[in-house]
A and B are shown apart, each in its own frame.
Chain A
């Protein structure tokens, strides 16, 4: 029986992008459904009644919610190609730790970079750069967090690059100036088709963010 895979997503969502990349890496065919988050579909409400959020991976009718949970699910089910987690238990724990770090820090701090001003912004800017520095340290001399190929942490993190124009333009921030090694890693990721095809253009994301900012009266 052929696998039926549906992805409920929203084009600027870095969490959705994670699953797009993983599915592409594994060569899995799927149906992409873009949600209007102001008017959520009955399918989304049915498949994620607890959080009503995207992304939702629907595999043969069964939903998997929460992007890192779905990433592990994809890795476990389609385990014949492009493994995301390493086989060594300690390295797996390290990969999970850093993906969790991305979840705890990058989204929330990144959000402050374009929705706050003054002292709050300055603190967020420092925090953000500190986090990038820590990630750069963890990457070390490796091509990717996963070694020679994209791994769990790479897939968890690279989607946020599509938001960098939003993060940088909103204030006086240049990630490349402070952390060139990090941007070198970004460029290596973007050379992969699974990544470049899964991330929207930064300008498009920027326009979207500015619309949101205007709508909520944040200037």
Chain B
């Protein structure tokens, strides 16, 4: 299909947008990245995602697909001849989807909680939560990888994408809080996995540089603190 037939409406710092781009890269699908402007949100965004008005949106032909994990599954199904993103066994699929939901509903909010914390006590508690979540993910990794490099086995798949997209933000959080999350002593499997994932051909060009992301983080954190302070 021609490049213009597949568009990703997104923004380079967004881990959710990364998911869509990695999936397209795995399938070797050429696409056009449309950087969303925000403030105000573009007409295209409001039209293609009227319900949530959020990125990423995958626009295939003229049809929009919203919600990053739904986009990843869509890409896997449409470009079925490329390498599989979801496992083929229904129980393995359910396990992958379960952990992706855990990452989205529990783990990443706890990471965001560090930036939003107003005092030291709250920040320490949030850091503890993130570390606990990582132990949980280490266990999941040991179980699902079955000794191989990735959650999905030999090649990156659904859960690698769902979790790995947050590595940039995890590294930024480490830097800005002087804390080491990716600790070999505590989560050896994940530390190795993080390196391999970041270096994967489908990932390396869309993984944002930690320093650039740190600049964005400073702006976001200032906004969060202002919002918290004004309550």
Which A residues lie at the B interface, using CB under 8 A? 50, 59, 62, 64-66, 69-70, 72-73, 76-77, 89-90, 92-93, 96-97, 100-101, 134
Which of A50, A59, A69, A100 is the one whose CB lies under 8 Å from B70?
Answer: A100
Cβ-defined contact, B93 with A76, below 8 A: yes
Cβ-defined contact, A90 with B97, below 8 A: no
Which residues of the other chain, B, contact A72 by a CB distance below 8 angstroms? 93-94, 97
20 A-B Cβ contacts within 8 A?
A50-B136, A64-B94, A66-B98, A66-B101, A69-B97, A69-B101, A72-B94, A73-B93, A73-B94, A76-B93, A90-B74, A92-B77, A93-B65, A93-B70, A93-B71, A93-B73, A96-B67, A97-B66, A100-B70, A134-B51
Whole-angstrom distance between the Cβ of B110 and the nearest chain A Cβ: 14
Known A69-B98, A92-B77: A64·B91 in contact at CB below 8 Å: yes
- Majority-rule SS of B interface residues: helix
Give the CA-CA distance A100 to B93 in the complex, in Å. Answer: 17
Cβ-defined contact, B97 with A66, below 8 A: yes
Give the CA-CA distance A145 to B90 in the complex, in Å. Answer: 24
Whole-angstrom distance between the Cβ of A108 and the nearest chain B Cβ: 12
Known A89-B74, A89-B77: A97·B98 in contact at CB below 8 Å: no
Whole-angstrom distance between the Cβ of B165 and the nearest chain A Cβ: 18
Which residues of the other chain, A, contact B101 by a CB distance below 8 angstroms? 66, 69
Give the CA-CA distance A76 to B73 in the complex, in Å. Answer: 14
- Bitwise interface map of B from 58 to 95 toward A, beta carbon under 8 Å scored 1, else 0: 00100101110011011001100000000000110110
Known A89-B74, A93-B74: A100·B94 in contact at CB below 8 Å: no
Whole-angstrom distance between the Cβ of B95 and the nearest chain A Cβ: 8
Whole-angstrom distance between the Cβ of A190 and the nearest chain B Cβ: 26
The 6 closest A-B pairs by CB, nearest first: A76-B90, A89-B77, A93-B74, A73-B94, A69-B97, A64-B94
Whole-angstrom distance between the Cβ of B131 and the nearest chain A Cβ: 16
Give the CA-CA distance A66 to B105 in the complex, in Å. Answer: 12
Which B residues lie at the A interface, using CB under 8 A? 51, 60, 63, 65-67, 70-71, 73-74, 77-78, 90-91, 93-94, 97-98, 101-102, 136
Known A50-B102, A69-B98, A89-B77: A97·B63 in contact at CB below 8 Å: no
Give the CA-CA distance A77 to B94 in the complex, in Å. Answer: 11
Between A and B, how many residue pairs show CB distances below 8 Å?
Answer: 52
Cβ-defined contact, A65 with B74, below 8 A: no
Give the CA-CA distance A90 to B93 in the complex, in Å. Answer: 19
Whole-angstrom distance between the Cβ of B85 and the nearest chain A Cβ: 13
Whole-angstrom distance between the Cβ of B75 and the nearest chain A Cβ: 9
Whole-angstrom distance between the Cβ of A109 and the nearest chain B Cβ: 14
Cβ-defined contact, B67 with A100, below 8 A: yes
Cβ-defined contact, A96 with B70, below 8 A: yes
Give the CA-CA distance A77 to B70 in the complex, in Å. Answer: 20
Which residues of the other chain, A, contact B136 by a CB distance below 8 angstroms? 50
Known A50-B102, A66-B101: A73·B65 in contact at CB below 8 Å: no
Which of B51, B63, B94, B98 is the one whose CB lies under 8 Å from A90?
Answer: B63
Residue of A nearest to B136 (CB): A50
Residue of A nearest to B99 (CB): A50
Whole-angstrom distance between the Cβ of B142 and the nearest chain A Cβ: 15
Which residues of the other chain, B, contact A93 by a CB distance below 8 angstroms? 65, 70-71, 73-74
Which residues of the other chain, B, contact A73 by a CB distance below 8 angstroms? 90-91, 93-94
- Residue from the set B66, B67, B98, B136 with the largest chain A CB neighbour count within 10 Å: B98
Known A65-B98, A90-B65, A96-B67: A77·B51 in contact at CB below 8 Å: no
Give the CA-CA distance A66 to B67 in the complex, in Å. Answer: 18
Which residues of the other chain, B, contact A76 by a CB distance below 8 angstroms? 90, 93
**Further 20 A-B residue pairs, CB within 8 A, beyond A50-B102, A73-B91, A92-B73:** A59-B91, A62-B91, A64-B94, A64-B98, A66-B98, A66-B101, A69-B97, A72-B94, A73-B93, A73-B94, A77-B90, A89-B77, A90-B60, A90-B63, A92-B77, A93-B65, A93-B71, A97-B66, A97-B70, A100-B70
